Amino acid sequence: MNLSRKTKYRFATLAVYAVICCGILWQALHYVPRLFGTNESGNEPFILVNVHGNVLRPGQYRVPLGTTGFEILKVAGVRPTSDISMFNLTQQISDNQQLQVGTMPNPVTAKKVSDKIRCEFFLGDVSVIASDGRTKSPENGMEISTGDRVLTEEKSQTELSVSTFSRIDMDNFSELSFDKIGTVENNRTVTWLTQKTGTCWYKIVYGSNGELFRVTTPLVNVTVAGTGADFTITIKPDEIDISNMDGLLLVERVGATEAINLISGQSATVYNDSRPFQVTSVGTEANPADRFSLLTKEKASVMMRHMPLNFMFCGVPGVYFFGSVQFERGVVQMVNLPAETSVEEFVQGCSTLDQAYLYGGAIFVTTLVEQIMGSRIPKFCVLEKEDLIRIAGAIGGLRVSVDDKAAGIMKLSKGLQKLSSHQLSVLLMPALSGADDFKQRQFNVIKAVFDGLVSKNIIMTSLLAEQIFTNLQTNFTTTEVMDEYNKFSAVQNWAFKQYPLPVKRDTRGGRVVLDPNLEDCRRLLQQ
């Protein structure tokens, strides 16, 4: 049968369309189970949720069954003015649920933290004398109170921290008294010291426009202007020398008979007679870093050898741990901070720790936990489910304790099992048996990593550290990880201690809030 060219072209066109339609049908059949949440292949079933209102990315989301309100809001993006106070973030959302995020009149802001002065480190003989005449035994990290005097003897030096950003180094035969520490005057936070003798190196950085730092000497008052200053004051029998390496200082003679602005790179000599201030350039010999080099070197050495490694683990969505590795004692201490831990004492517009993460991430959470625990936490790490699975794959599996419920569902024996990354992905499915079980399993996996390091089943190499930490949300570097690991490996018989955060249970606004007992929290790791 002979067909015309036109007829042949028509049949060819129909054949092409038929192939395309078959391809579309095949793809549709492939995606239908995922669209409607079936679980024939063993994957997690999915549900739909709608997020409206004051978020960065409103819309409809298709998420795994068992997803919490925290996780969906994390994806949708919380703004500083997003009102998420009505949501139970640890509760799992349901299919076709509508989440309406309101707007707060003011953004979330951290409350002002009271300024504190601490003796961070000292060499030689240093005395701390209280206002009532009592002598305090100096300790690294001890707090200096209003009215205290700090004195250094021959061949002695000490470093003091002033609030978060500033430092003072005291040379030998120096004396400082602390007249005001964080006193509020005329809407400004005033810190006022009196230097009576010796040489002190002041590195003052203002964290806000409402701060004022001033030093009184026998001849002049020195006020830090602008955003801060880096300067030294040396008191001699007949004169006072002030060298300003950086910043702006207001230097006023006691009695207000003379005053100058001392800018970066200038020195002023103030005599105890009627001569005017002698202003010159800062000489090359006036290098305070050389004067305090031994203090700096010894402090770094002691911190490297003896200071604990404090870090914050954020196991998104609901697991938060403050960890402290104490190398001298061979102890790793972990404090479990529930997601519902109240932070209202430190933040305006934010109630709980999990809310704080949505507003400001791991850095914000870390600053709040520092205030709760009364400890500095220089390092943080975020471990999400995908990170734990990836780590398990990189080290060839992980020995994890499998609970009764998970064992039954996964068809494994209860107890310690070596799980592949695929098995871990099933173990860490939020919908497996509820949010509380998921939190405990997430902690079990984190602890399994620690146990593997202690037992030497996991040997950290530079390549492995690079694989693990490159894609993590963390401020650890690969070099730091290897340095800490080498210190860790040098200690035998490590002990692992886990503590619950001391809290008081309360209900506010229809939800459970856990108020931390700050006094007990700050004593917890000293047990």
- Structure confidence by residue, pLDDT tens digits, 364-410: 999 999 989 988 888 898 888 788 788 888 888 888 889 888 888 88
CB atoms within 10 A of CB 435: 17
Band of pLDDT at residue 199, cut at 50, 70 and 90: very high
Average pLDDT of the chain?
A: 84
pLDDT beyond 60 at 35: no
pLDDT beyond 80 at 179: yes
Helix, coil or strand: residue 454: helix
Cα separations in angstroms, 232 against 74, 150, 221, 500: 48, 17, 13, 46
Structure tokens at 204: 């003052």
Helix, coil or strand: residue 437: helix
Name the CATH architecture for the domain at 46-109: Roll (3.10)
Structure tokens at 335: 């404090």
Average pLDDT (70-79) is 93
Band of pLDDT at residue 14, cut at 50, 70 and 90: very low
User: What is the predicted pLDDT for the residue at 527?
Assistant: 63
Q: Which of 62, 57, 64 is nearest to 438 (CA)?
A: 64
Structure tokens at 502: 């001391």
Cα separations in angstroms, 151 against 59, 159, 178, 181, 198: 63, 12, 12, 18, 10
pLDDT beyond 50 at 311: yes
Contact, 91 vs 439, CB < 8 A?
no
In this predicted model, what pLDDT tens digit does every residue of 136-162 receive, in sequence order? Answer: 888 887 889 999 999 999 999 999 998
Q: Topology of domain 304-526, per CATH?
A: Aminopeptidase (3.40.630)
Structure tokens at 368: 């709040």
Band of pLDDT at residue 274, cut at 50, 70 and 90: confident
Helix, coil or strand: residue 255: coil
Band of pLDDT at residue 197, cut at 50, 70 and 90: very high
- Using the 8-state DSSP alphabet, how is residue 525 labeled? G
Amino acid (one-letter) located at 397: G
What span, in angstroms and rounded, lies between the C-alpha atoms of 368 and 354? 11
- Using the 8-state DSSP alphabet, how is residue 242 labeled? E
Which of 20-24, 121-125, 345-349, 510-514 is predicted least confidently?
20-24
Contact, 145 vs 177, CB < 8 A?
no
Length of the chain: 527
Alpha helices in 137-292 (DSSP H): 288-291
Instruction: Outline where DSSP puts E strands in 105-262.
Output: 109-110, 117-123, 126-129, 135-136, 142-144, 149-152, 157-162, 166-170, 175-185, 188-205, 211-216, 220-235, 239-253, 259-262
pLDDT beyond 90 at 12: no
User: What is the predicted pLDDT for the residue at 234?
Assistant: 96
Structure tokens at 339: 């997601």
What span, in angstroms and rounded, lies between the C-alpha atoms of 346 and 369? 10
What span, in angstroms and rounded, lies between the C-alpha atoms of 323 and 375? 11
Which of 14-23, 70-79, 105-114 is predicted least confidently?
14-23
pLDDT beyond 80 at 108: yes
- Helix or strand holding residue 269 (H, E): strand 266-271
Structure tokens at 176: 């400082």
What span, in angstroms and rounded, lies between the C-alpha atoms of 178 and 399? 55
pLDDT beyond 70 at 412: yes
pLDDT beyond 60 at 11: no
Q: Which of 159, 194, 196 is nearest to 174 (CA)?
A: 196
Amino acid (one-letter) located at 186: N
In this predicted model, what pLDDT tens digit does every residue of 214-231 receive, in sequence order? Answer: 999 999 999 999 989 999
What span, in angstroms and rounded, lies between the C-alpha atoms of 106 and 348? 9
pLDDT beyond 70 at 13: no
Concatenating the DSSP letter of every residue in 314-377 gives: EETTTEEEEEEEETTTTEEEEEEEETTBB-TTTEES--BHHHHHHHHHHHHHHHHHHHHHTS--
Residue with tokens 């709040």: 368
Q: Which of 332, 354, 317 is nearest to 449 (CA)?
A: 332
**What's the Rg (C-alpha) of the chain?**
31
Contact, 232 vs 203, CB < 8 A?
no
Percent of the chain with pLDDT over 70: 87
Pick the CATH number of 117-295 from 2.30.42.10, 2.60.120.1440, 3.30.565.10, 3.30.930.10: 2.60.120.1440
User: What is the predicted pLDDT for the residue at 32?
Assistant: 34
Cα separations in angstroms, 448 against 65, 201, 459: 26, 47, 14
Q: How far apart are the first and last CA of the chain?
A: 98
